[in-house]
Structures are given as C-alpha cells and as structure tokens.
Amino acid sequence: MNRANLTENPYSSTRQVILGKRGAVATSQPLATLAGMEMLWAGGNAVDAAIAMAVALTVVEPTSNGIGSDAFALVWDGKLHGLNGSGKSCQNLTAEYFSGVDKMPTYGWLPVTVPGAVSAWRTVWERWGRLPFEQLFAPAIRYAEEGFPVSPVTSLAWKRAEASYLSQTGPEFQAFKAVFFNNNRAPAAGEIWASPAHAATLREIATTGGESFYTGRLAEEMANFAAETGGFLTLADLAAHQADWVTPISTDYRGLSVWEMPPNTQGLATLIALNILEGFDLGKYPRESAESYHRQIEAMKLAFADVHRYTADPRFMEMPVDRLLDKTYAAQRRQLIGETAIPLAEPGLPKGGTVYLAAADGELMVSFIQSNFTGFGSGVLIPDTGIALHNRGIGFTLEAGHPNQYAPAKRPFHTIIPGFLTQDGVPVGPFGVMGGPMQPQGHLQAVVNLVDYGMNPQAALDAPRWHFVKDNHVFLEPTAGVQLAKELSEHGHNIQVNSESGLFGRGQIILRKNNILIAASEPRADGLALAW
C-alpha cells in the first residue's frame, strides 16, 4: 500500500480553492464564517474565531443547533487535545419513566439532557482565548438583534421541520412554536428573522462567563420552566455539569493519523472502518467504481455493528477501545467482506438533526462541532430566552443490559464527531462532516478521497457520496452515476438514488500543506470558507 501523500496538486479543483497563510475559517453559514474572520482581523486566534462562529451559528442556523446544544472540540497547540462538552441525563428521570416504551421519544422533556455547549465555549476560551470573552459574542448578538436573511438550505430544513413541531400541543412547546414558527410557518429563503430574546441571553452568557447558564438566573429559568411543564431538568443537574478534557483516539491509515473523539461518541466507527479498509488497495480502482464503493460500504457496515453494540458513556463500556482498534481484529473482520453485500452485519468479539466548523492560524487549529440533534431538538424553548433545548437523549437505547441503556446522570451515545489529521506528528488539519449517522461515513469518505485518490480538500468534499442506512440499504447521490448504482445493486446492495442533500452530510476542511492553509466548505450547505 502506498503511503499517504496528501493532494499531489492541492490547488486543482472544480471549484475555487481558498488559500491563505495567516488564518482560515470555514462553517456551513457565510455569516458565521464572517464572525470568525472578524475575530482574526481583531487580533484574535483560531480559538477566538471558532467560538465566535459557534455562537453565531446558534442564531443563523437554528435548525441544527442552539444555545441549548451539546458540543465537542479537538484543538491542536503542539499536541492534540479533546474536549467533551456533552451533558448527562437528568438525575430525577429514572428508567421507570420509559416502562413499556420501545425507544426514546423525540420531542418534549424526556430526551432532554443537560446542554453543554456553553461550557465548551468557556472552557476552550479559558485555555487558549486571546480576545475578551464578551467580544466573541458580538457578531451573534448583532445578527439576533438586527435580524439576518435566512439562507436557502437552512430555509429548506426549517420548512421540513414545520409539520413535526407545529403538531406538538403541550404547554412546553408553545414558546418554541411562537419563536421559530411565527404565524404558523417557517421563514422563507431571504426573509429576515430575528430573536431579541436570543440576543439578550447571549449577552448575559458573555458578561457572566457562562455562569448564569449553569448556576445563575438562566439556570433558574430553565429549572422553573421544567418544573412548570413536566420536565426533569433541575438546578442541581445544571450546576453539576462540566466539560471534560479527554484523550483523542486515532488510527494510522496509510501513513496518515486520523483522530476522533473517544466514546461516548461514534468517532470510533470511522477508525474501525479505516482499519478494515487499509487491507484493500482502493487506489487501484477508479473512485466512482463499484469495487471501491462496495468495500467502503461493507467496512462501514461492520464498524457500525461494533460501535452500536459497545459504545456508551465510557464509565459503562465493557469493551476497551484499544481492542476494537486492534489491527489484528480489523484483519479478522476484513475476511467477512466478499463480493456480495453482507445482509446484516453483526458485532464481532475482538480477541486480546448538527453544525461543524474549523479554524486555523499559525499556532492553533480547531475542529469544533455542536448540535441540537433531530431537527431543532426537543421542541422545548425556555420562554423569553431563545434557549432551545436539544434532544440528545435520543442517543440512549432502552435495551436491557446494553452499555448505552438509559440511566440517570449518564451521557448518551453521541453522533457528533469533530475530526483531525496529522502526519508524522505534524498537524495536517481539522475536518468534519455533519449529519447524524452520516458523520463517520462522511469522515471515512473524506479520508479516502484525500489519501487514496489524492484529492484536495474542496474536491474531497465535492465528490459524490454514499450513505449506508441499515441492512443492505444504501443511498447514493445522483452524481455518482446510473451505471455505478446498477453495479452496486449487482453486488447485493439495495440502492436508492436520492438527491436530498441532507442525506449526505455537510462538511468543512482546513489543511496545511507547505505552510499554506487550504480551506474548503461543503457544497451541500450554504457554507463558506475564507482564508487570509
């Protein structure tokens, strides 16, 4: 197998390549990207830019994240650091509440866990931030107060969510519907949307350093609304929350180190699949070939089987991560891949609705992700605050004895995963692809595009994608071609060609090559990458 030689010609692309020396930023929303550049031009660093973009995204892309999100970060400052900003389930919500229920509900208070994004912003800034914390909130506050034109892809997501959220009838949903579906409809593309309450809350978080959100007035507002409307979130839950520094996990793929967050996230799936794929010489096949796609899909399928069986809050995991990442185990799993799709992948027994953003400068590189999960999240908004709470509790299973079974004060399985690349101990850069279970699949495809097919970051994001769903069901983008769909079907895959961009993720990449920053943003979103 050839050793990774990233982007032999990093400047060739079907789209404009964004290059710079001093700094680069990329998000799924142009206004959020500009918030990051505003910080860099003010003398801030990549961490300042990343936090400003994360805060701005709660305003300009509320369909995917909000003040009540969870968040994770990977930060390079000479070594790679991981931050787990996900919250735990409510202490007073016991498993008995789910008696007779097959799966976690999507809406309302039951799937709400403690929101951790605010703690992640503060924790990362305390370690690396250069500008005043309050300054990082200025663009987002401006957008929320003055209003902004809703972008096209965001408007489509807003419209798709309309029926689900407007049909919720409990008192806990009324404030949410009034804010996000005024006049019982979603705003159209180009329509100005504003939220003064959101701006006021961001200003309070900024001036209190996040303290109000977990132990002050905002915490009291959340706890009181929960008590009034049948929720379980308490002041004790909020005060007990903290973001945790963790050790990132990685694997070597043809000389490139690919880094992910450890459990409770699904980042492990990307690494397991890459270990399996490493035994195949994908580069000898054309990129849009059944031979290449088939092997990638099957490797991902086997990885998901293991991750969905074993991954949980690390305090509850029974299978050590290093055993799942063992290359010998990967070789054993690889033997299961033949020329016909595996009908239903089973876990092995080894022996022995999100926003993603990236930022870089001369010293720091940041991979950051935050999410409200399914759609807008739980549909619960704390009145007069703009705080829309996520529904990350959906990540729990109710299967008895499973390590990820619901329990109080426990972190759920998380789909959101920031990624990072290094080579020989040198940072290559942050990357990520949003989209629930599409995220590790998007990470896998991005790495394969960069390494096996020598694509530059923009081309790696532009390329056609597949999305494994379950069993043998696979979505395929139309740009992959009719012939490829036919040949994959002959391999036993149940292929559905689908043009809906939300099925295939939305990503950003910033890579450094020869001291030049190459920034790219997803063509399936409204995104923007900038560098200077």
CA atoms within 13 A on the CB side of 377: 34
**Which one of the listed residues 27, 33, 208, 354 is annotated catalytic?**
354
CA pair distance 505, 522, nearest whole angstrom: 8
Q: Does the annotation mark 354 as catalytic?
A: yes
CB atoms within 10 A of CB 403: 20
Give the amino acid at 298.
Answer: E
Query: Strands of 466-470's sheet, edge to edge?
Result: 466-470, 473-476, 494-497
CA pair distance 170, 6, nearest whole angstrom: 53
- Residue labelled with tokens 């929350």: 241
- Residue labelled with tokens 């590790």: 440
Residue pair 329/348 in contact by the 8 Å Cβ criterion: yes
Torsion of CA 214, 220, 223, 227, to 10 degrees: 170
According to the 3-state scheme, what is the secondary structure of 65-110?
CCCECEEEEEEECCCEEEEECCCCCCCCCCHHHHCCCCCCCCCCCC
78: which 2 tokens? 């000479």
Active site members: 354
